[in-house]
Structures are given as C-alpha cells and as structure tokens.
Amino acid sequence: MMTEDFTKDVLSQIKDQKLAPRPRWQFTLKNYLLWALVGLATILGALAVTTIIFILTDYDWDVFVYLNRSFLVHVLMALPYLWLASLTLILVTIYYNFRHTKGGYHYEPYKIIGLSVFASLVLGTIMFWCGLDSEIHECLVDRLPLYGHLVQTNRDLWIYPEHGLLAGHITLFNDSQGFVFQDLHGTVWVVATDTQTIWDNRLHPATNTIIKLIGERQDAQHFRVRNIRPWNNRLPNEPMK
C-alpha cells in the first residue's frame, strides 16, 4: 500500500511539474563535448609543457651574480607560475570531465591524471624537440602582451646595462676594434672588444647576429664587453622576433 501511495505521489508531481525525459541526443551531444574538452585540455597541457621546457632550458641561470640577487631569488623569479597554474587547472578540468562523461566512473582518479600528464608530457616533449617551443613562446609574447609580463624570460634578464648585461644584434661588425650594437630596446651602442674578450665558440659573428653581452657600461653609448654569448642557447644564430 505504501509503495502504491509513493508511486501515485511521484506520478502526481511529474504531472503537476510537467516533467519529461530529455531526448537521448542531448546526452550524446554532452558526452561528445566533454570528450572534446578532454582532448583540448590535453593539447593545451602539451603547449604548457613545451613552453615550460623552453623557458627552463633557455634561461641563463648563472647571471644572477650580475643582478645583485641570490640564486634562490633568481630561481623563484624564473619559475613559470602561469604555466604551472594552467597545468593544474587543465588537470582538474580533465578529471572533472572524465567523472561526468558516460562510463567515466570506471576510471580511478590517479589513472585519469596519470594518463593526462603522460600524454601532455609526450606531446610537449615532441614539440620541444621539433623546435616548436621557441615559436610558440615568441608568438605568445608578441600576440599577448600580458603574457610577457606574467612570464619572466631571457628578454627580462638582458636589459640591464647598468649591471653589465645587454642583448640585441650587431649592426656593424669590425673584427679588430669591436662593433656597433642595437639592444632589445632599440638603443645603439659602440661595443669595444680586446684580447681578453671571450667569444662563445658557437658564434660566427657578423652583421645581424643576435648575441648577449656581459661587460660594463662606460657611458650612455659605449660598452666594453668581456663575454659574448649566442642569443639562443640551442640555436645560436636564430633570428630574434
């Protein structure tokens, strides 16, 4: 009797509230969208991984001594917090999607996260070795000004002539006396070299070569250099964008 009363009560509420089952296509569409989000999140994770690898491998970890900061502070300033936060958000999104996709409850959380991390690491590493890492990073810096302010890179390190750090390209090269140099901000310098100047053996100095300088500023236009490095730690003469 109680069961019958309960059934009648439920049927009455359904009738009063005019409830109706959702069409099957809505659930199917939702599942497809969730799986598409999982795929998108994995791709974004790969972009984050390859950019993180680029930032960490391209960064000059030894120049902290010229900037009057400790190595710990140097490391903390270099960590790609934006990408780490993005990766965390992506993993949470993937976890949520798996848990709310049809059949997703069959997967244990650690397996979902592990699979997502593995896929992002593999794809991100492949993109890194294919040389897409610098392309992606430079594109983000050029297209999204806010990104450049949130992620510290080598561009932020080599703009301190008062600390003896400069980066830019050679505009006129003279092997015996030095060269004329334009830095990242467009300032033109007359750079003096001597027998004590150390050139990185990966460099083939010529006009338009992109380089990094360690030395000392003599005045507003003159700079004496002690050490000259290629701009890109992996591809010495890759043009700066």
- Chain-centre distance for alpha carbon 240: 17
Q: Which domain holds residue 142?
A: 24-150
> Does 241 fall in a domain?
no
**Domain final residue pick, 132, 150, 168:** 150
Instruction: Identify the residue whose tokens are 């001594």.
Output: 65
Give, in degrees to the nearest 5, the angle at Cα 120 between 119 and 124.
120
Average pLDDT, integer, range 117-133: 88
**Domain final residue pick, 122, 150, 178:** 150
Between helix 109-129 and helix 24-58 the angle, nearest 10°, is 50
Q: Do both 100 and 205 map to the same domain?
A: no
Q: How confident is the model at residue 238 (pLDDT cuts 50, 70, 90)?
A: very low
**Domain final residue pick, 88, 123, 150:** 150
Q: Is the pTM of this model over 0.75?
A: no
Q: Do both 75 and 166 map to the same domain?
A: no
Give, in degrees to the nearest 5, the angle at Cα 24 between 18 and 25.
115
Q: Do both 32 and 142 map to the same domain?
A: yes
Count how many domains the chain has. 2
> Does 98 fall in a domain?
yes
Determine which of 16-20, 23-27, 151-155 has the lowest per-residue pLDDT on average: 16-20
pLDDT at 190 over 70: yes
Q: Do both 124 and 192 map to the same domain?
A: no
